[in-house]
Amino acid sequence: MLAGAALLVVAVAGAIVVARSDRQADLAQRPEPVPPTPVVPAPTPPPTPAVPPPTSPPVPPPAITQPPAATREPVARGLTEQTSRAYPKQQYVLYVPKSYDGSARYRLLVVVHGASRDVQEYAKQFTDFADEKRYIILAPYFPPDDRFQQLGIGEKEKTIRFDERLLGLVSEIGGRLNVEQARFDLFGFSAGGQFAHRFLYLHPERLRSVVVASPGTVTIPKERYDWPAGFGDLDDLANVRVDLERVRQVRVMLVIGRDDVDDDNLRETDEANRFGDTRVERARTLHEEWDDAKIGHRYVEIKGLDHRLDDRIVKPATRFFSDG
């Protein structure tokens, strides 16, 4: 906030003293009448120029504050299954390293599952990394009846917005733990990779880094295609316009197994197939489109890997998070 200062101008009028000299010695004994001192009006101060009010800079968004350590409740260490207090039916897995005591702020890694929805197994892949680099892991569980991959946007039936649900969970965890929540890291595999890169488009200001692994379908950063293939009707569906300049500021990695060519659980509509018949072809299309849109990213194809999540993806992903 800028503080303005007004100038107080004070005008001081000087007194003029007039002295007369003796004209003759013999008149020294005779006082000469002293004429009245002329009154000189005080000079009128010039008008103070109008000073425009100071221009305040744009007000930044409110900072996300952490509760003081004294108000935080005890937290179970290790991997635990929990249910949200804000969303009673929302379940998630939380991993808190044994080293966490609330005195130091940890980073947050969100891990989004694929179609198997084996949330614990997904979170376990990153616990060693969390111990070493002082991360807390949040792995939400999304029910199979909803296409969370599309963030809940564009579904015919009324559904929740899964991107907003995730942000609510991040805020909830931030109220209990000393963890960075303004900007966090995001990892998604398969259907989770679909979720992750679509979340990137809508909420780039909340992400520090994102790893998109083996997505089954892809969203191209163009308005010529309708959601979820592109941005064409996103404004009407969700009152959202993608800010590609903000997207370009996020660290992004796209990783795919070179042998990820089977069609198990692969969406094969005409809309999806326009970008390739296999996951590896669709990942290559997304890579090329990101290059065209000047969305900087690291692209990795892993030789000999089909559609599975193991250390061949987890290790380069965690190195990528560590480098940021």
Residue 315: give the domain boundaries.
82-323
Whether 192 is in a domain gets the answer: yes
Whether 278 is in a domain gets the answer: yes
pLDDT tens digits for 226-241? 999 999 999 999 999 9
Total domains, the chain? 1
Residue 283 belongs to domain with CATH number: 3.40.50.1820
pLDDT band at 65 (very low <50, low <70, confident <90, very high): low
In sequence order, which residues have a C-beta less than 8 Å from that of residue 202 and are 6 or more positions away? 151, 163, 238, 240, 242
**What CA–CA distance (Å, rounded) separates 318 from 213?**
12
Whether 73 is in a domain gets the answer: no
Burial of 55: CB neighbours in 10 Å, binned 0-12, 13-18, 19+: exposed
Give the CA angle between residues 126, 299, 152 to the nearest 5°.
Answer: 65
Whether 15 is in a domain gets the answer: no
pLDDT tens digits for 111-140? 999 988 899 999 999 999 999 999 999 999
Structure tokens at 59: 């007000």
Whether 124 is in a domain gets the answer: yes
Q: For 30-36, what is the mean pLDDT?
A: 45
Whether 71 is in a domain gets the answer: no
Whether 130 is in a domain gets the answer: yes
Whether 43 is in a domain gets the answer: no
Q: For 9-38, what is the mean pLDDT?
A: 38
